[in-house]
Chain A
Amino acid sequence: MTTAEMKSGIDSGIKSYLPPVIEVEAENELLEVAMGPHHPSTHGVFRMDVALDGERVVRLKPVFGYLHRNHEKLAEGTTYLASMPYTDRLDYFCSMTNNWAYALAVEKLAGLEVPERAEYIRVITAELTRVQNHASAIGFLMQEMGASGTPLMYAFREREKILDLFEALSGSRMMCNYMRFGGCRVDLPEGWLERTKKIVAELPRFIDEMEALLTGNEILMARAQGVGVLSPELAVNAGVTGVMLRATGVNYDVRKVDHYGIYDRFSFRVPLGEHGDIYDRYMLRVLEMRESVKILEQALPQIPDGPILDPKSKPRGFRPKPGEAYGRIEAPKGELGFYLISDGSGNPYRYRVRPPSLINLTILEDMCLGQNVADVVLIFGSVDIVLGEVDR
């Protein structure tokens, strides 16, 4: 196929959103740098092939796949339940939300009902996950900015408490493997709610502390404001979701849109940015943490007694009827979707993860072109990705 043929779709007059082309005076004077896969700032094994004109980026190509393990193929070879622990390992910062997204898709496929108590537990664990993910994401962003780890350590101090809660609940700190089709695996242990309430009550103080350290900092503002700007039109067209999308001002939060789970019972607001730059993404993460704390404060006292698993759900011999379903939730990194096709057997015929981390990287090139090489690292950090999910 010739290039001309390849490009035919683009030339056909459709309004497309493409990255800018940067004119270079002397092509042979460009400095080509491969940032990664061995690079201190890449969040894992990820490579950006960057061409620099001085310190200005004129070309950038992301290269993926160093962590590819064909998660989808593995899942198609085992039962529905056996894929659940593997979802923990997608975005290993947020195993609870990964579990939920997968369980949600299977529940849609098999028509399972989730008991109310389980829904509450899901909301609580998901919001705790969101808090710790956003805190760590800010920490990593600051690390990228050269803050020698202080904000990251503060974030990890709080994250530690949340992970201890997860361990007390599910037995494991990060690889929770907690949710099941039609509910959750085990009920809350004794005293868990009280401990969680105490920790949630302390969270606003921690967020204040983090803001005192960072929000007004002139260096952070100088580095983050007006850098890595993303337009709302491009963001929507490129399927960018989560904080990245809302930082551009588009009001789209799957918790509000789909009313999945029981999110319509809680009052919370969706913070929106205006400029779509790194600072907006940082601030939105802070504000979303505050909103998550609000949800937690509502959900924790309301939690009812009752069963935690749909009686129709069973660990062995689970065979949904033929059909397909796409389920999605608002994971901390963006919209996490699972697409399943059942052929009536015990294994899914098709199992697909819609990874927010990967799709949010679609516009990395657009945001970085023309920027300083130091900003590339920042922009990349502000997307908030986990390579386990990008490469699957």
Chain B
Amino acid sequence: MNLNAGWASTGWTSTLDQIFVLVQHRVAELFPPVLQPWVAMILGVVGIVAVFPAIFALTTVLERKGLGRMQNRLGPNRVGPYGILQPMADAIKSLTKEDIIPRSADAVVHFLAPVVLVVAIFLGYAVLPVGRNMVLMPIDAGILFFFAIGASTELSIFMAGWSSRNKYSLLGAMRAVAQMISYEVPLLLSAVVAIMMTGSLSPEAIVAAQGGFSGVLPHWYVFTPWGFAGFALFVVAALAETNRSPFDLPEGESELVAGYFTEYSGFKFALFFLGEYLGMMSIAGYGITLFLGGWGAPFSFLAFIPSWAWFFGKLFLAIFFFIWLRGTLPRLRQDQLMNFAWKFMLPMSLLNLLVAAAWRFLGEWLGAGVGAEAIRWLACAAVLGGTYVLLGRAMLRRQKIGPRSYRYAE
């Protein structure tokens, strides 16, 4: 496996690329050898705990400004230049706000819920490659670890909903759990294609498999029919998994006030908020790892830019996409959401598995060559695209949904 494929490993670019790794090593070397692995680990943890919440803070202000721009408003612009210090003001506000625990709530569980959420989400970052050689805990079954940890966030959400003793909280929590469990299936299945192709559960290996360029274009999985379908399915499932619009039913404010965190205020609410955004970023990070080439550059001539810059650049693009969706779409209803998961997402992701397998066999069977490649590409795309159109049309027809025309009276 060539980790350095397409990378000009010369001089200052490589130093810049590995700068955080180098700093970590230098600092660790100051300690006795017994402690060195520990120090390195702690430095990594500190890095993650510092960087991602900082991005969260930036994201909140970017989201509000971005939504504002989409709605022809300015967004926050009073705190600091261009309102960039708005998250500071929000943090101070949430810290100084009274922390209310409803009288009939289960105080311990009520307190634990946001903590469990944030801890579980942070654990997911342990195996996320944010740059070349930049993984906190390089384990072979990293993807499996992430999905396992990700599934435990449901627990904290149900804890919050149940312990609040509020009808809206309970309804919101039940919705959230149902939704997250349903969408975990397509999420996993859509991720499986990338694992199948790579033959490894290790995120680093998956990124490495997408390294290298044909001409100037990279070998990202998203540029294959099955990869594109897998990516699209992954994005939809990720939206549902992180309760983002248009799947933000658990906290649908017009129906359930604030869903499972209705009874949270002050810092606990801020923790929930943090947990949500961290969850969104981590799932986006895995989407990037699985389908968008991880920290790889999109064009061979841009490979001199450090790998971590590419990763975070892609992360911000993904976040912007989430904001864009939020600014555009209304939300679905619970039964429609479930229908969509089981009747559309699941069949599509299963079909995608088959297509991915077919892609592999066709590759071996047809052999190399441009013509063979084109046949393979078109066949897979046609199967997926055709099924998508047919399934979509059938779904709309079954629910009697479609554009209408209107008559007029003079």
Give the A interface residue count (CB, 8 A): 51
A41 to B331, CA, bound (A): 14
- Once the chains bind, are B408 and A271 in contact (CB under 8 Å)? yes
Residues of the A chain whose Cβ atoms lie less than 8 Å from the Cβ of B335? 372
Residues of the A chain whose Cβ atoms lie less than 8 Å from the Cβ of B84? none
Residues of the A chain whose Cβ atoms lie less than 8 Å from the Cβ of B245? 146, 148
Give the B interface residue count (CB, 8 A): 40
A66 to B187, CA, bound (A): 47
A12 to chain B, nearest CB (A): 36
Interface residue? B333 (CB, 8 A): yes
Q: Which of B171, B327, B408, B410 contacts A150 (CB 8 A)?
A: B327
Interface residue? A92 (CB, 8 A): no
A372 to B338, CA, bound (A): 14
- Once the chains bind, are B255 and A374 in contact (CB under 8 Å)? yes
Which of A33, A145, A287 is most buried by chain B, counting CB atoms within 10 A of its CB? A145
Q: A142-B330, A145-B331, A222-B332 are in contact. Are A251 and B403 (CB under 8 A)?
A: no
Interface residue? B25 (CB, 8 A): no
- Once the chains bind, are A223 and B71 in contact (CB under 8 Å)? no
Interface residue? B407 (CB, 8 A): yes
Interface residue? A106 (CB, 8 A): no
Q: Which of A216, A218, A221, A375 contacts B333 (CB 8 A)?
A: A375
- Once the chains bind, are B406 and A283 in contact (CB under 8 Å)? yes
Q: Which of B333, B404, B410 contacts A283 (CB 8 A)?
A: B404
A209 to chain B, nearest CB (A): 11
- Once the chains bind, are A149 and B71 in contact (CB under 8 Å)? yes
Interface residue? B248 (CB, 8 A): yes
Interface residue? A254 (CB, 8 A): no
A287 to B246, CA, bound (A): 27
Interface residue? B389 (CB, 8 A): no
- Once the chains bind, are B255 and A377 in contact (CB under 8 Å)? yes
Q: A40-B254, A287-B406 are in contact. Are A223 and B333 (CB under 8 A)?
A: yes
Interface residue? A314 (CB, 8 A): no
Interface residue? A199 (CB, 8 A): no
A364 to B269, CA, bound (A): 35
- Once the chains bind, are A55 and B334 in contact (CB under 8 Å)? yes
Q: Which of A149, A269, A279, A374 contacts B409 (CB 8 A)?
A: A269
Q: A154-B72, A374-B252 are in contact. Are A148 and B327 (CB under 8 A)?
A: yes
Interface residue? B329 (CB, 8 A): yes
A147 to B407, CA, bound (A): 28
- Once the chains bind, are A41 and B333 in contact (CB under 8 Å)? no
Interface residue? B401 (CB, 8 A): yes
- Once the chains bind, are A219 and B167 in contact (CB under 8 Å)? no
A251 to B335, CA, bound (A): 34
A280 to B255, CA, bound (A): 22
- Residues A251-283 near B (CB distance < 8 A): 251, 253, 256, 269-275, 279-280, 283
- Once the chains bind, are A147 and B329 in contact (CB under 8 Å)? yes
Interface residue? B119 (CB, 8 A): no
Q: A142-B330, A215-B403 are in contact. Are A41 and B254 (CB under 8 A)?
A: yes
Q: Which of A39, A218, A273 contacts B401 (CB 8 A)?
A: A218
- Once the chains bind, are B333 and A372 in contact (CB under 8 Å)? yes
Residues of the B chain whose Cβ atoms lie less than 8 Å from the Cβ of A275? 404
Closest to A39 in B: B257
A245 to B260, CA, bound (A): 38
Residues of the B chain whose Cβ atoms lie less than 8 Å from the Cβ of A269? 408-410
Closest to A145 in B: B330
Residues of the A chain whose Cβ atoms lie less than 8 Å from the Cβ of B73? 153
Q: A219-B331, A272-B408, A287-B406 are in contact. Are A146 and B336 (CB under 8 A)?
A: no
- Once the chains bind, are B246 and A284 in contact (CB under 8 Å)? no
- Once the chains bind, are B71 and A219 in contact (CB under 8 Å)? no
- Residues B245-264 near A (CB distance < 8 A): 245-246, 248-249, 252-255, 257
Residues of the A chain whose Cβ atoms lie less than 8 Å from the Cβ of B72? 153-154, 157
Closest to A55 in B: B334
Residues of the B chain whose Cβ atoms lie less than 8 Å from the Cβ of A226? 399-401
- Residues A269-317 near B (CB distance < 8 A): 269-275, 279-280, 283-284, 287
Interface residue? A373 (CB, 8 A): yes
Closest to A35 in B: B255
Interface residue? A79 (CB, 8 A): no
- Once the chains bind, are B409 and A218 in contact (CB under 8 Å)? no
Interface residue? B396 (CB, 8 A): yes
Q: A148-B326, A153-B71 are in contact. Are A270 and B255 (CB under 8 A)?
A: no
A263 to chain B, nearest CB (A): 13
- Once the chains bind, are A222 and B254 in contact (CB under 8 Å)? no
- Once the chains bind, are A221 and B401 in contact (CB under 8 Å)? yes
Other than A145-B331, A153-B72, A219-B246, give 6 A-B pairs with Cβ distance below 8 A: A145-B330, A146-B245, A149-B67, A218-B401, A223-B330, A274-B406
Can you report 13 A-B residue pairs in the complex whose CB atoms are below 8 A from each other? Answer: A31-B167, A148-B326, A153-B73, A154-B72, A215-B403, A218-B401, A221-B402, A225-B399, A225-B401, A274-B407, A372-B334, A372-B335, A374-B255
